[in-house]
Amino acid sequence: MQRISIAISLISILFCSTLTGALPEPEYGYDKDSGNGPEYWGDIKEAWADCKIGQTQSPIDLSSNCVQVIPELGSLVYWTYNPQYATVSNRGHDVAVEWGGGAGSIDIDGSPFFLIQAHWHWPSEHTIDGQRYDLELHMVHVSPQPDGTNKTAVVGILYNYGSPDPLLSKLEEYLMDIPQEDEEKSIGEIDPSEIMMGSTMFYRYIGSLTAPPCTEGIIWTIDKKIRTVSRIQVELLKNTVLEYYAIRTARPLQPLNERKIQLYVSKY
């Protein structure tokens, strides 16, 4: 019954969106034919120059011809996540789940990177051997440094259309309550470990943020396991954000520029 109600609400949103007038164009977008599309990000602001001149940009194609298979990948397979209270927010350009603290961490080269938020892109930004997927989740982690800055590590999860995603199933009813930019809603405890269950193979490379300011030095870890998400769940995400971002929020693939891609394959 709940899913029927959500479906009816989605139809209403789709209908109402056709009655909405034109909205102001955001600072950046994903339409290649627009003056603020990915090709022009680096020209919009000086602080976004890396989007244009950076040599280690993301996303990339994770090609089997370029990967180095290794038996271990730090301690990522032993991540420590905990159920923790979270909020879901409409950031205009995407939907994000944010943890206030205590949600756990991953370990990279002996340093803990603490999970702070997760958000989605449609379709996927990364591809595997040229194949693009229907959705990509980014789990953002930070590691505080002595100089007051943060190092950032992002875990990417890829999805194809199929059965509903358990995390989004928990969020469906809340997405209907945050139709405006900057609105947020408490969603109770969310266990990040449920997202990563069953993962045994991961790609690792050094890249950048996939949206302005395209900061480099980001440690990327992409789960090779492809999960499923329902079409209605993706439509709910699209119809929560600003109309300008509803069609696409995936940056085009970036040159590898001789970077190394490692593939961890578990023996267990």
Catalytic residues: 93
CB atoms within 10 A of CB 5: 12
For residue 268, what are the contacts with CB-CB under 8 A and spacing of at least 6? Answer: 200
Determine the Cα–Cα distance for residues 11 and 162; give it in Å rounded to an integer. Answer: 20
Phi-psi region of 40 (alpha: psi -120 to 50; beta: other; left: phi over 0): alpha
Cα 246 from Cα 119, distance rounded (Å): 14
Evaluate whether 119 touches 137 at the Cβ level (below 8 Å): yes
Structure letter (DSSP) for residue 237: H
- For 73, residues 6+ apart whose C-beta sits below 8 A from its C-beta are 202, 204, 221, 262, 264
Dihedral angle sign, alpha carbons of residues 39, 126, 120, 151: negative
Q: How many CA atoms lie within 13 A of 49 on its CB side?
A: 3
